[in-house]
Amino acid sequence: MEYTREHCDKLLASTISYLLDGQEFYEASILLLCELYMYDGWSSSDVTSITFELRGNRAVHEIIQDTEHSATVAIIQAFKSVLPSDYYLTSLTSRVEFADFNTDWRERFLEVIQGKAALNQCKPIEDKPRFTWDYLFFRSPHEIEIAKALGEHNLLFLPNCMARFSPIGQRREADFLVCCDGKWGILECDGDTYHTNAARDHDRDRLFQSHGIRVVQRYTAKRCVENPKGVVQEFLGLLRKNG
């Protein structure tokens, strides 16, 4: 059987919805970065085996390839839960799929290799993977969804860049430092795999606010995954009003 893009997207959306219902936002946001492809295997009178292939970036690929990774286990269980009863999932594989390249791709990659490209820092957290989008690093798929939503507005934003506070010499990193109509604010994406120390996060927020950043707004992973455009619109409204 040939599965259309509409068919695959419908199943992928159902799986993401299943994960969201179970508060598994990290796993759901991983799938948001993927395209799903489905292939038939063997079949009997009442059951058809099927193989799924997820295509995404390197971080997604490495997670899916690790069959013991907690996110992979949860994603496989979710797929099995939403499949029709006459289908059997035999395997879940992954493949790295890169976005379309512009004609200047050689020059841009050379800048990265030579250290000239304006890559943001995004310091890795322990053994957690970093995700990439548009030559930028992010700690989670939630952040990529917010970055895409911010990118739809005509404004300046700095994702995951380290700030140094003088003269005390402390360093802190904001998820998104955003400039809108000349006003600066910070948008934070909270989740289970990062921002796990609330007291430390609030201390960092106060440090930014003490240096004139009046709007520091936090949003849960749930909201960032389910409605990133709504999160950004709300944040920009608060920034225009209170920044």
Express each pLDDT in 28-58 by its tens digit: 999 998 999 999 888 777 888 999 999 998 8
Predicted local confidence at residue 118, as pLDDT: 57
* Closest residue by Cα to residue 184 from 118, 240, 120, 122: 240
What CATH number is attached to the domain comprising 226? 3.40.1350
Residue 23 placed within a domain: yes
The more confidently predicted of residues 123 and 156 is 156
- The CA distance from 23 to 25, in Å, is 6
Q: Are 105 and 120 in contact (CB under 8 A)?
A: no
Co-location of 187 and 128 in the same domain: yes
- The CA distance from 193 to 124, in Å, is 12
Co-location of 76 and 124 in the same domain: no
Residue 109 placed within a domain: no
Co-location of 126 and 185 in the same domain: yes
Co-location of 68 and 172 in the same domain: no
Co-location of 91 and 118 in the same domain: no
Co-location of 178 and 236 in the same domain: yes
Neighbours of 177 (CB within 10 A): 19
Residue 188 placed within a domain: yes
Predicted local confidence at residue 124, as pLDDT: 60
The more confidently predicted of residues 191 and 24 is 24
Q: Are 37 and 8 in contact (CB under 8 A)?
A: yes
Predicted local confidence at residue 170, as pLDDT: 81
Q: Kindly report the backbone phi and psi dihedral angles of residue 132, in degrees, each rounded to the nearest multiple of 5, phi listed first.
A: -120, 145
Residue 105 placed within a domain: no
Residue 229 placed within a domain: yes
Predicted local confidence at residue 13, as pLDDT: 95
Longest dimension (CA), the chain: 74
Count of structural domains, the chain: 2
Express each pLDDT in 82-95 by its tens digit: 999 889 999 999 99
Show Cβ contacts of residue 6 under 8 Å, excluding neighbours closer than 6 positions. none
Predicted local confidence at residue 69, as pLDDT: 93
Co-location of 81 and 124 in the same domain: no
Residue 106 placed within a domain: no
Looking at residues 133-158, what average pLDDT do you find?
A: 90
Q: Kindly report the backbone phi and psi dihedral angles of residue 15, in degrees, each rounded to the nearest multiple of 5, phi listed first.
A: -65, -45
Domain boundary among the residues 96, 125, 157 is at 96
Residue 202 placed within a domain: yes
Co-location of 37 and 85 in the same domain: yes
Predicted local confidence at residue 36, as pLDDT: 96
What CATH number is attached to the domain comprising 49? 3.30.300
* Domain limits for position 54: 5-96
Domain boundary among the residues 39, 70, 96 is at 96
Co-location of 128 and 160 in the same domain: yes
- The CA distance from 68 to 136, in Å, is 28
Residue 211 placed within a domain: yes
- The CA distance from 22 to 46, in Å, is 30
